[in-house]
Amino acid sequence: MRILLHRADGKTEPWIKDFAKYLPEAEVEIWHAGEKNKACDYAVVWSPPEAMLPELAQVKAIFVTGAGVDSLLKFSDALPSHIPIIRLEDAGMALQMAEYVTHSVLRYFRRLDEYEAQARAGQWLPLPQHPKEDFAVGVLGMGVLGTRVLEALAPFGFPLRGWSRTEKTMAGVQCFHGADGLDTFLRGSRVLVCMLPLTPDTNNLVNRTNMSKLPQGSYLINVARGAHVAEPDLLALIKSGHIAAATLDVFRNEPLPAQHPFWQEPRITITPHISALTLRRESVQQIAEKIRKTAQGETVAGVVDRNRGY
The catalytic residues are 225, 273
Phi and psi, residue 35, nearest 5° = -115, 150
Phi and psi, residue 13, nearest 5° = -60, -45
Contact 228, 256 (CB under 8 A): no
* Three-state secondary structure call for residue 8: coil
Find out whether the peptide bond into 48 is cis, omega within 30 degrees of 0.
Answer: no
Where does the chain show beta strands of DSSP type E? 2-5, 27-30, 42-45, 61-64, 85-87, 137-140, 160-164, 173-177, 191-194, 218-222, 243-248, 268-270
Question: Taking phi first (over 0 means left), then psi (-120 to 50 degrees means alpha), and beta for anything else, what does residue 196 get?
Answer: beta
- Secondary element (H or E) of residue 49: none
Contact 106, 152 (CB under 8 A): no
CA–CA distance, 269 with 247 (Å, rounded to integer):
5
Q: Which residues of 161-200 are buried (b: 16+ CB within 10 A; e: fewer)?
A: bbbbbeebebeebbbbbeeeebeebbebbbbbbbbbbbbe
